[in-house]
Structure 1
Amino acid sequence: MKQYSLVDDIGTLHTFNKVPQRIISLVPSQTELLVDLGLESKIVGITKFCIHPKELKANKAIVGGTKKVDYNKIKALAPDIVICNKEENTLEIVENLREIVPVWVTDIITIEDNLKMINDFGILFDCVGEANQWNSNLTFALSDFKKFIESKPIRKVAYFIWKNPYMVAGSGNFIDELLQFNRFENVYDNQSRYPEIELEKINENGNLDFVFLSSEPYPFKEKDALEMQDFCGQAKIILVDGEMFSWHGSRLLKALNYFKELHQKL
């Protein structure tokens, strides 16, 4: 393959003389996508949070987490490329890794961003056919879900990601995009990213229909829902699968089926 160039999501131009063969992924959802694109054999390093597919951690080098990595271990693995994400990984990690290896950074806020990432990976890793198939399947499933959801009423929700302090999903992130896609009105979308909130003031945003407690990054449980009940008025508190709302990549296909099941339970 001749030399080729691509620009990542933060505007960095990458030029390759050959297709990267040794990949380190520092983003769990993107690790899953790489596997689904048929690239598992090329992955040499992952994070301790890369839990899908579940057998991967037994077969690949663990180079740290998403916020702290072992640079010496990464260097020793001699990667051709490291895959990062603007939200998941720190700027410090990206800048330090650039001294060692090309770093591809994604920035996924919208569903269109997600489709573009899959397309980019197809070009980047010479698996265009697999990427096109995934995007074709996703486009069909997204269209099908739009038909499913169009008759549903718009309902007000608050989506919690953390406790002590309580933090919720605001605007400008993939969670908010998927909430909107589900016709859930995020009552905190007037605040950016992941604001801290006071639970006592939750009903200042109008009458909530639902409070979603995510399974990640904080693993909310039934006891947390019971603790919050007195503050949430008539809102129904529901434990939701955080991977389905926050993992971009190929996970979106499973998420659309999960969302259908969720709506049928509401």
Structure 2
Amino acid sequence: MTWLLLGLSCPAWAAFSLRDDRGVTHRFERSPQRIVTLLPSLTETVCALQACARLVGVDRFSNSPPQVVALPKLGGLEDAQVERIAALKPDVVLAAPSARVIDRLDDLGLKVVIVDAKTHADVQRSLGMVATLLGTPAEADRVWASIQRSLADAAARVPASVRGQKVYFEVDPTPYAAGAGSFIGETLQRLHMGNVIAPALGPFPRLNPEFVVKVRPDIIMASQRSLDDMPRRPGWASLPALQQRRSCGFDLKHYEVLIRPGPRMGEAALQLADCLASIEKAQR
């Protein structure tokens, strides 16, 4: 386990230490009251844990829940605005390990807690870490239980006729795909679906476009924009999944839910289940 709470409990006024996902241990004199998040899934996690009011700034892509839209937008993974972050005087900055500004924020003396989530287990662990940071550890159990209920409901919705079929889920038109070992791949597995990307290729591998043509997925899932472009890629127009419309294209609002490893993972599973049910219905 990569996070560690040192102490028996951590009410909002009690000092505690927390080890983050880069192995750095941070000491807090009290639960942070001014929080900056630099990843949408972390913003959503804080809010799901009933601490949205503590957010003082978020990354530019954070747009859920609605109350975060009006918060100061502080850039993204590549270009977070260090001076603006520091000016907000946060008690803690929550960031992904890929954020380029970690060292600069460290140099300014800010507490930067790194949270990394690529799998379902990571999401559960990160919920526990953030809930501990907030001084409300029981909230993590509540949110995780809700995710599990939605995953079970989604699995029950998937028609028997499509179960076991292999899915190609595109996360970027480069193309990058969601492998079997990613949180998206694990959700598909919970829905009784296969994956054209073997675990050995990693959670989110970059593929040679010819790979997809060769593996001929039974079902394709992607953003609507990427799906519309696929027939123009060399060889892709011959894919049966495209020819037979055994595919789902998601608009941006719904696609964002699918690619964020956080508290809306159960909602994502329900969207995928509805996609699979619509494919089965269209094939009747």
**TM-score above 0.5:** yes
1:15 matches 2:27: yes
- Deviation, 1:234, is 4.5
- Deviation, 1:260, is 2.6
Moved more, 253-262 or 150-159: 150-159
SS at match of 1:157: strand
Moved more, 114-123 or 237-246: 237-246
- Please show how residues 1-266 of structure 1 align to structure 2 within 5 Å: 1-58=13-70, 60-86=71-97, 89-90=98-99, 92-100=100-108, 101-146=110-155, 153-163=163-173, 165-170=174-179, 172-189=181-198, 190-205=200-215, 207-214=216-223, 219-220=225-226, 222=228, 224-228=229-233, 229-234=236-241, 236-240=246-250, 241-266=254-279
Q: Tell me, which stretches of 5 or more residues in structure 2 are unaligned?
A: 1-12, 280-284
Give the whole-Å Cα distance in 2 for the aligned partners of 1:53 and 1:153: 33
2:170, 2:178 within 8 Å by CA — same for their partners in 1?
yes
SS at match of 1:65: coil
Q: Deviations over 1:47-77 (max 9, x none)?
A: 110111234222x111111221111111111
Relative distance call for 1:6 and 1:129 in structure 2 (3 A) is: same
Give the whole-Å Cα distance in 2 for the aligned partners of 1:2 and 1:93: 29
The residue type equivalent to 1:156 in the other structure is K
SS at match of 2:18: strand
Aligned to 2:6: none
Relative distance call for 1:249 and 1:191 in structure 2 (3 A) is: same
Give the whole-Å Cα distance in 2 for the aligned partners of 1:153 and 1:261: 13
- Deviation, 1:145, is 4.1
1:199, 1:231 within 8 Å by CA — same for their partners in 2?
no
> How does the TM-score come out when normalised to structure 2?
0.79
1:25, 1:43 within 8 Å by CA — same for their partners in 2?
yes
The residue type equivalent to 1:260 in the other structure is A
Q: Deviations over 1:91-128 (max 9, x none)?
A: x3222222231111112122122122222222110123
2:187, 2:269 within 8 Å by CA — same for their partners in 1?
no
1:170, 1:188 within 8 Å by CA — same for their partners in 2?
yes
Identity percentage of aligned residues: 24
1:175, 1:246 within 8 Å by CA — same for their partners in 2?
yes
Give the whole-Å Cα distance in 1 for the aligned partners of 2:113 and 2:205: 28
Q: Tell me, which stretches of 5 or more residues in structure 1 are unaligned?
A: none
Q: Number of aligned pairs?
A: 256
Q: Deviations over 1:120-174 (max 9, x none)?
A: 22211012343332223223333444555595621112222223x3332335432
Aligned to 2:282: none
SS at match of 2:249: strand
Give the whole-Å Cα distance in 2 for the aligned partners of 1:9 and 1:209: 37
1:157, 1:210 within 8 Å by CA — same for their partners in 2?
yes
SS at match of 1:247: coil
Moved more, 45-54 or 140-149: 140-149
